[in-house]
Structure formats: structure tokens, C-alpha cells
Homo-oligomer: A and B are copies of this chain.
Amino acid sequence: MKDLPLSKVYQLLEPGPVVLLTTARKGRINVMTMSWHTMVEFEPPLVACVVSSANYSFAALRATKECVIALPAVALARKIVGVGNCSGRNTDKFKRFGLTPAPAWRVAPPLIVECFANLECRVADTHLVNKYNLFVLEVLKAWIDPSQRNPKTIHHRGYGSFAVDGEIIKLKSRMR
């Protein structure tokens, strides 16, 4: 994994890919699938995400205030859905789905080796957690796997239907 400048993190999350989110609490690591996230600020990168209080990851994220957002490419689609269809309450999802945890630098939750990028995050704001389960995260450190070239991400459309990244178009723009 190679260092990714924090100024480029938004280019990974702004397109709206399905991501994985890892947590660690009391010696147990866990991973969930997440599509409800948005960039909030470019740099330092801030991300808002919704983690349902029905998810086992919710309590870990709220208590430890740390997570890793891992970006999987389409080759992992079956594992992404599998992770989203069971709970860390009664499943070691890393083992069950053959995902490899690796130590992060700044936080306790693990990176996921099979993902093409990993973002180490700390909870920056909890004002909307009680009402909406909405956390604001700051990305502290970002990693990219240069061996995965032009990874295609997937975008959930409901009930297991996903749009895979297709053609890339480039238009002259003043937008960052």
C-alpha cells in the first residue's frame, strides 16, 4: 500500500461507491457494508456517513470513535454483499469472507488488504448521531494499492442491484 495525499481522498468517495467500514472494540474487529456517505470538506478530508444503530458496528464506532473506510473494486462484489447480509454479532466476517486485515497507522481498526484504497478515520462530530445516526469523520491517513489499476467501483441501486463503473468521460471544467 502506498501513501495517498489527503487532498486526493475526495476523488475516491465523491463518486459514491459502495465501501466497507471496519471497527475494532474489545479485541474484536468487524466490517460492514456502507453506501450512505458523502464528502463534507476537501482537506483535511471530512466525510459524513450514516451507520444504522441496528448495525453491530454502530456501538463500536460510537464508543471508540475510530474506523477505516476501505474501497473494494467490483471483483469483490459477492463479498461486499455477503458482508452486508450478516452481522458481526455472531460472525467473524473477515474469516468467513476471506478478507485480510492489516494494521493501520493512526487507528485501531484494520485496513483490508484486498481493497484498492483504505482511509483511516476518526469521528470528528457527533451532533447528529442521536437523531440521524450520522457521523462526521476526519480522514487522518490514506492508502492506495498501486497494483490495482483503474479499479471499477460499484454503486447500489437497491435490493442487490449495482451499477458498475463504465466509461470514463472527461469534460473541460473549472471544478476541482
Contact = CB atoms under 8 A, between A and B. Distances in A.
Interface stretch (A57-65, A97-105, A125-133): A125-133
A36 interface: yes
Contacts of A40: 36, 50, 132-134
Contacts of A8: 158
A175 B163 contact: no
A78 B171 contact: yes
Count the copies.
2
Interface in A32-83: 33, 35-41, 46, 48-50, 74, 77-78, 81
Interface residues on A, range: 35 or more
Nearest to A167: B164
Contacts of A159: 173, 175-176
A85 interface: yes
Interface in A137-176: 152-176
Contact of A157 (B14, B36, B133): B14
A174 B81 CA distance: 9
Given A46-B132, A81-B171, 19 more contacts: A14-B156, A15-B155, A38-B50, A39-B50, A40-B132, A40-B133, A77-B171, A125-B132, A128-B136, A152-B166, A153-B163, A157-B168, A160-B170, A160-B171, A160-B173, A162-B168, A163-B165, A163-B167, A164-B169
10 contacts: A8-B158, A15-B157, A36-B38, A36-B39, A40-B134, A84-B173, A85-B173, A125-B128, A161-B169, A163-B166
